[in-house]
Structure 1
Amino acid sequence: MMRFLQQLWLNFLMIVILAWFGGYVLFIHQVRTQPNDVTRKADAIVVLTGTTARLNVAYQLLTEGAGERLLISGVNRVISKETLRQALDVNEKIMECCIDIGKQALDTVGNADEISLWAAERGYKSLLVVTSAYHMPRSLVEIRRMLPDATLLPVPAQDKSLDLENWWQNPKSMYILAAEFNKFLFSLIRARTESAVMSGDSN
Structure 2
Amino acid sequence: MKLIKPLLTLIGALTVTVTAVAVILFLFAPALLQEEDTLEKADAIVVLGGQYFRPIYAAELYNEGYAPKVLASRPVVMPEEKIIRALGINSPYQWEIYRDILLRKGVPKKDTSFFGKANVSTIDEAEVLKKTLDPKIKSIILVTSPLHTRRAGIIFRETLPAEIKVIVVSTPYEKVPKEWWKNFRTAPFIVLEVMKTFYYELGGGFRSSEQLTN
Q: TM-score, normalised by structure 2?
A: 0.70
- Kindly state the Cα deviation for residue 63 of structure 1 after the two structures are TM-superposed: 2.6
SS in 2 for 1:164: coil
- Kindly state the Cα deviation for residue 140 of structure 1 after the two structures are TM-superposed: 0.8
Report which of the two has the higher share of helix: 1
AA partner of residue 15 (structure 1)? T
Determine the C-alpha separation between the residues in 2 that align with 1:148 and 1:30: 26
Q: Unmatched 5+ residue regions in structure 2?
A: 83-92, 205-214
Determine the C-alpha separation between the residues in 2 that align with 1:8 and 1:17: 14
Would the alpha carbon gap of residues 115 and 25 (structure 1) be closer, same or farther in structure 2, given more than 3 Å must change? Answer: farther
Determine the C-alpha separation between the residues in 1 that align with 2:147 and 2:177: 9
Determine the C-alpha separation between the residues in 2 that align with 1:128 and 1:135: 14
Match in the other structure for 2:31 = 29
Q: Unmatched 5+ residue regions in structure 1?
A: 192-203
- Kindly state the Cα deviation for residue 132 of structure 1 after the two structures are TM-superposed: 0.4
Match in the other structure for 2:170 = 156
Match in the other structure for 2:87 = none
Listed one character per residue, the Cα deviations across residues 13-44 of structure 1 (whole Å, up to 9, x for unaligned) are 33133224424544422556x44755x21111
User: Equivalences for 1:82-97 in 2 at 5 Å?
Assistant: 84-86=98-100, 88=101, 90=103, 94-97=107-110
- Kindly state the Cα deviation for residue 145 of structure 1 after the two structures are TM-superposed: 1.5
Would the alpha carbon gap of residues 81 and 12 (structure 1) be closer, same or farther in structure 2, given more than 3 Å must change? Answer: closer
- CA RMSD of the aligned region, Å? 3.2
Would the alpha carbon gap of residues 37 and 186 (structure 1) be closer, same or farther in structure 2, given more than 3 Å must change? Answer: same
Would the alpha carbon gap of residues 115 and 138 (structure 1) be closer, same or farther in structure 2, given more than 3 Å must change? Answer: same
SS in 1 for 2:75: coil
| Maintained 8 Å contact 2:75/2:94 | no
Listed one character per residue, the Cα deviations across residues 143-164 of structure 1 (whole Å, up to 9, x for unaligned) are 111125121111201454x643
- Kindly state the Cα deviation for residue 185 of structure 1 after the two structures are TM-superposed: 2.8
Determine the C-alpha separation between the residues in 2 that align with 1:69 and 1:89: 11
Query: Which of these residues, 94, 117, 121, is aligned with residue 107 of structure 1?
Result: 121
SS in 2 for 1:122: coil
SS in 1 for 2:118: coil
- Paired residues in the alignment total 186
Structure with bigger gyration radius: 2
Would the alpha carbon gap of residues 140 and 89 (structure 1) be closer, same or farther in structure 2, given more than 3 Å must change? Answer: closer
SS in 2 for 1:90: helix
| Maintained 8 Å contact 2:72/2:114 | yes
- Kindly state the Cα deviation for residue 85 of structure 1 after the two structures are TM-superposed: 3.1
Would the alpha carbon gap of residues 117 and 21 (structure 1) be closer, same or farther in structure 2, given more than 3 Å must change? Answer: farther
Match in the other structure for 1:129 = 142
User: Equivalences for 1:1-203 in 2 at 5 Å?
Assistant: 1-2=3-4, 4-23=6-25, 25-31=27-33, 34-35=35-36, 37-38=38-39, 40-77=40-77, 79=93, 84-86=98-100, 88=101, 90=103, 94-102=107-115, 103-119=117-133, 121-149=134-162, 150-158=164-172, 160=174, 163-170=176-183, 173-190=186-203
- Kindly state the Cα deviation for residue 188 of structure 1 after the two structures are TM-superposed: 3.5
Structure having greater relative contact order (Cα 8 Å, sep ≥ 6)? 2
